[in-house]
Structure 1
Amino acid sequence: MSKRIAGPEIERLIQLLAKVPGLGPRSARRAALHLIKKKEQLLAPLAGAMADAVDKVRVCSTCGNVDTVDPCMICTDPRRDGATIVVVEDVSDLWALERAAALNARYHVLGGTLSPLDGIGPDQLNIKGLVARVAEGGVSEIILAVNATVEGQTTAHYLTDQLSGFGVKVTRLAHGVPVGGELDYLDEGTLAAALKSRTAF
């Protein structure tokens, strides 16, 4: 049995930090200690920001993004191409695509992928919302930006079937050699996908 090294408030802070993805118990202890040492500069402002987030953060009823307004700023931005919807698994994927700044489209967050073994079927994902958006009209292309996993590809095929009667173009992200990648370091699946999806030079 391990000894308690701090009061219950500090232990609780460590336990909660350990639940954050990427932080294990050891990293959580280091982070908690750093926050406590910088109580006025870091801990107090962080607590305030978290309290604000609890009060103000909303899930967008249109696309599933998180923001402080509903509909979110992306959905209400008039400069966005409303005819193109990029479908992603999670909000983190949406944010990654936004950082790339390669497309000025709107988004739709599924909230995961189909995974029968984990009990995740179509009703557990935001698929009906996507179909409803397409049924309203005005959408010409759906870009499936799901991960290149078995579950991601299963979800992509299911979505393609669900959207087949609406006359919209359904595309997916290219798979293959990453920019700056060296062939020798890539796995066989990535190389096979790159050869299959080759384009004119």
Structure 2
Amino acid sequence: MPETTATPEPIQRLIEALHRLPGVGPKSAQRLAYHLVRTSPQEADALARAIVEARERIRYCSRCLNLTEADPCAVCTDPRRDQSLVCVVEQPLDVLAIERSGIYRGLYHVLHGILNPMEGIGPEHLHLSELRARVEAGGVAEVIMATNPSLEGEATVMYVQRLLSPLGVRVTRLARGLPSGADLEYADAVTLARALEGRQEI
């Protein structure tokens, strides 16, 4: 006799889809799924439309590769920004974290990952060629490496330093105000501000 389940198949599919999201465990996925099916049709439709609209309207900035609706993004086109400073981060969320510090007034470059040979992520999987092209185009005096303080983050810093050193640009890294093993995304504004101010030559 076939085994029966108390979870209807459409809800189970929704749970599995939510569980694939980063940071959503099986229990959280269940709670979210059951909340969504009990919500009003208007709220469910609004959520579905927001997801579709974000997917359709958000793209990569052609300069810094951050997520944006307008290309180039608002940071890249801001005349008050210091065009000679480029802060290199792993993910778009790291840009938000640094912006919260209120101290950095330069530009960004988003790699969308870090070197991780164990997971098969090499230089060709990151936006490193675009970074080199930005430096080669001129006007960049300093590249600040703001990767997370992990082994992979440090390997990425060393690779970028070797990549850019022939171009004569200054390459610095955030100071050790950030605790080892912590994600940039969760750092508080004061810690990030101190790390930016105390950045070091590589």
Q: TM-score range by the shorter chain?
A: 0.7 to 0.9
CA RMSD in angstroms, aligned pairs only? 2.1
Letter in 1 for 2:151: V
Q: Give the Cα separation in 2 of the matches to 1:53 and 1:3.
A: 35
> Within 5 Å, which residues of 2 pair with 1:1-201?
3-6=5-8, 8-40=9-41, 42-176=43-177
Deviation at residue 2 of structure 1 after TM alignment: 6.5
Q: Give the Cα separation in 2 of the matches to 1:151 and 1:18.
A: 26
Deviation string 1:15-67 (CA, Å, 9 cap, x unpaired) is 11111112112111111222222224632211111111121111112111111
> What TM-score results when the alignment is normalised by the length of structure 2?
0.81
Q: Between the two structures, name the one with larger relative contact order (CA 8 Å, sep ≥ 6).
A: 2
Letter in 2 for 1:164: S
Query: 1:176/1:2 Cα in 2 relative to 1: closer, same or farther (>3 Å)?
Result: farther
Q: Is the 8 A contact 2:149 2:178 kept in 1?
A: no
Q: Is the 8 A contact 2:86 2:143 kept in 1?
A: yes
| Count of aligned pairs between the two proteins | 179
Deviation string 1:161-194 (CA, Å, 9 cap, x unpaired) is 111122222111011476xxxxxxxxxxxxxxxx
Q: Give the Cα separation in 2 of the matches to 1:113 and 1:61.
A: 20
> What TM-score results when the alignment is normalised by the length of structure 1?
0.81
Letter in 1 for 2:7: I
Q: Give the Cα separation in 1 of the matches to 2:164 and 2:68.
A: 27
| Identity in percent | 45
Structure 2 residue runs of 5 or longer lacking an equivalent are: 180-197
Deviation at residue 127 of structure 1 after TM alignment: 0.6
Letter in 1 for 2:98: L
Q: Give the Cα separation in 2 of the matches to 1:2 and 1:167.
A: 67
Letter in 1 for 2:67: V
Deviation at residue 110 of structure 1 after TM alignment: 1.1
SS of corresponding position for 1:76: coil
Deviation at residue 106 of structure 1 after TM alignment: 0.7
Q: Give the Cα separation in 1 of the matches to 2:114 and 2:144.
A: 15
SS of corresponding position for 1:20: coil
Deviation string 1:101-126 (CA, Å, 9 cap, x unpaired) is 22011100112111222222211111
